[in-house]
């Protein structure tokens, strides 16, 4: 089995058309058909159903598609790592996170690490919490900074830091001049919230509001907390967000501490439990040192 065969299969599976797939691969149709047939012989099964009208994946082809993509991803990443070693770099760490966590302190941590270890490349990918965990599980990224804890024996998690949650209102809101607010003060407002199913953090915020004695009237639901300030500024309601979102946020907005008993959000470091990659292990060790604690999470 060759990488070119896998590449041909993945492109054909995406296009489901030999002409378009051949064009994407910069080859003619006969060699493409030969590559697919050779792959099928080596696997001992048909991956493609061919008719005069259409091309479709067989059941085996559907199952094999994700495996083929993973193999190609790993292959491309290995080539990139080799190139970087040849260029004098010592490795690369792929990092998944959200914009709100970046603003909440992660950007400073990454900046400090990069300054101390310039030969290691850091690549940040902004993704939803669920996507981050899936990407670490599939080994497409090395580490995730996430407000949700994975329920997977292959993944380990460690507590990183805690961030206070604050109320976000427009500057012309009736409470904007207060030094602080309570959740009860917001009872009459509409809320902009994260989709509850998008993360454990979103579910926690909703449960915190409900525990105060009322169910919020929701005007908008979003996936990424970074989207919330724009909607609040546009007049769609108020929200409860991590304090870090206040950093670099502009517009007619006010961030108010919640008192008494302010809610908090924990950020966790998530990584594959059995990943000996030197660059990742160095990154984890330095991160723990910069945060001032040893790993305390459970795998």
pLDDT digits (tens, 9 = 90+) for 266-276: 999 999 988 88
E-assigned strand segments in 98-174: 120-126, 143-146, 155-170
User: Residue 73: what pLDDT?
Assistant: 87
Query: Is 157 exposed, middle or buried, given 0-12, 13-18 or 19+ CB atoms closer than 10 A?
Result: buried
Tell me what pLDDT residue 206 has. 92
Give residue-wise pLDDT tens across range 81-91: 777 665 545 78
* Closest CA relative to residue 168, chosen from 148, 190, 198: 190
b/e map of 186-211 (b: 16 or more CB within 10 Å)?
A: beebbbbbbebebbbbbebbbebbee
Q: What is the pTM of this model?
A: 0.68
Who has greater pLDDT, 218 or 129?
A: 218
Task: Report the alpha-carbon distance of residue 155 to residue 269 in Å, rounded.
Answer: 10
- Please report the pLDDT score of residue 1 as a whole number: 66
Q: How confident is the model at residue 158 (pLDDT cuts 50, 70, 90)?
A: very high
- pLDDT value, residue 190: 97
Helix axes 59-86, 3-15, angle to 10 degrees: 130
Cβ-proximal residues to 228 (8 Å cutoff; 6+ apart), any chain: 168, 192, 194, 222, 239, 241, 245
pLDDT digits (tens, 9 = 90+) for 208-246: 999 999 999 999 999 878 789 999 999 999 999 998 887
CB 226 within 8 A of CB 198: no
pLDDT of residue 227: 85
- Listed in sequence order, the residues at least 6 apart from 2 whose beta carbon sits closer than 8 Å to its beta carbon are none
């Amino acid at each position: 089995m060759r990488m070119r065969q896998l590449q041909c299969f993945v492109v054909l599976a995406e296009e489901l058309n030999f002409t378009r797939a051949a064009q994407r691969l910069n080859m003619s149709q006969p060699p493409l058909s030969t590559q697919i047939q050779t792959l099928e012989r080596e696997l001992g099964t048909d991956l493609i159903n061919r008719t005069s009208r259409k091309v479709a994946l067989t059941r085996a082809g559907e199952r094999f598609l994700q495996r083929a993509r993973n193999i190609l991803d790993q292959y491309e990443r290995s080539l990139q790592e080799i190139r970087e070693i040849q260029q004098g770099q010592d490795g690369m760490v792929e990092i998944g996170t959200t914009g709100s966590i970046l603003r909440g302190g992660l950007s400073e941590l990454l900046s400090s690490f990069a300054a101390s270890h310039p030969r290691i490349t850091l690549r940040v990918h902004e993704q939803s919490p669920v996507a981050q965990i899936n990407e670490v599980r599939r080994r497409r990224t090395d580490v995730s900074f996430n407000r949700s804890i994975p329920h997977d024996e292959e993944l380990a998690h460690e507590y990183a830091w805690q961030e206070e949650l604050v109320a976000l209102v427009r500057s012309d809101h009736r409470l904007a001049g207060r030094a602080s607010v309570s959740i009860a003060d917001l009872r009459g407002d509409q809320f902009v919230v994260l989709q509850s199913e998008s993360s454990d953090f979103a579910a926690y915020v909703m449960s915190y509001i409900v525990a105060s004695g009322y169910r919020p009237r929701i005007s908008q639901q979003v996936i990424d907390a970074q989207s919330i300030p724009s909607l609040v500024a546009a007049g769609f309601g108020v929200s409860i967000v991590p304090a870090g979102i206040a950093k670099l946020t502009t517009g007619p907005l006010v961030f108010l501490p919640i008192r008494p008993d302010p809610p908090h959000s924990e950020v966790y470091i998530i990584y594959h439990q059995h990943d000996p990659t030197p660059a990742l292990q160095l990154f984890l060790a330095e991160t723990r040192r910069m945060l001032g604690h040893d790993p305390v999470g459970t795998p």
